Amino acid sequence: MQALKDRIRREGKNLGGGILKVDGFINHQVDPLLMDACGREFAEQFKTVGATKVLTAEISGIAPALTTGQHLGIPVVYARKNKPITMPDQVFLTLAPSHTKGRTVELIVSPEYLSGGEKVLIIDDFLASGSTILGLVRLAQTAGAQIAGIGALVEKTFENGREALAFLNVPVVSLVAIKSMEGDKIEFA
């Protein structure tokens, strides 16, 4: 997606260690028009998979997941990283390593909002090693849901996340692919 690629070129910063800072338009401050365009593109790419829900991880996946759900006309569920007191005692929980946090985080979903028979479209901000997305897959499968597809705003192809997801045999779509982040450069695929 050219608009997202252009924005990364202008404002993205390679912080080293495979970390791409996109805080000004995706991760901390969100550009709603850009996210709407991304959601529209995901909706177009996944319109035939029969998804009944969009699933993402708190917090950076919420904006693209929400606009995707809006354009598909389906609800969005996000996995929480902390269990609020309003959530039931019995939850779906898994652990996933966070590259940017430098630690393992919990991903928690209430069974009220994810259940068997659902066809889940996973949308997230990044596809790197695939660890977070695999955590979301585990949550959906534990709930008895089927994975319909996976979308990421940015894929870091050099981290081989797509290969880690291949066993799912579902469409995997990234709007922008980065093949290298050597030195301070960002090289697009």
Domain ranges of the chain: 2-188
Give the pLDDT confidence of 68-79 residue by residue, as tens digits.
Answer: 999 999 999 999
pTM of the predicted protein model: 0.95
Q: What is the pLDDT of residue 86?
A: 85
The bridge status of strand 53-57 relative to strand 146-156 is: unpaired
Higher pLDDT, 17 or 37: 37
Q: Is 17 left (phi over 0), alpha (psi -120 to 50) or beta?
A: left
Inter-helix orientation angle 62-72/32-46, to 10°: 50
Topology given in CATH for the domain delimited by 2-188: Rossmann fold (3.40.50)
Of 58-67, 86-95, 162-171, the poorest mean pLDDT is in: 86-95
Average pLDDT of the segment spanning 44-62: 96
CA distance 131 to 140: 14
Separation in Å, CA 149 to CA 1, 59, 65, 153: 18, 20, 13, 14
**Whether pLDDT at 23 is above 90:** yes
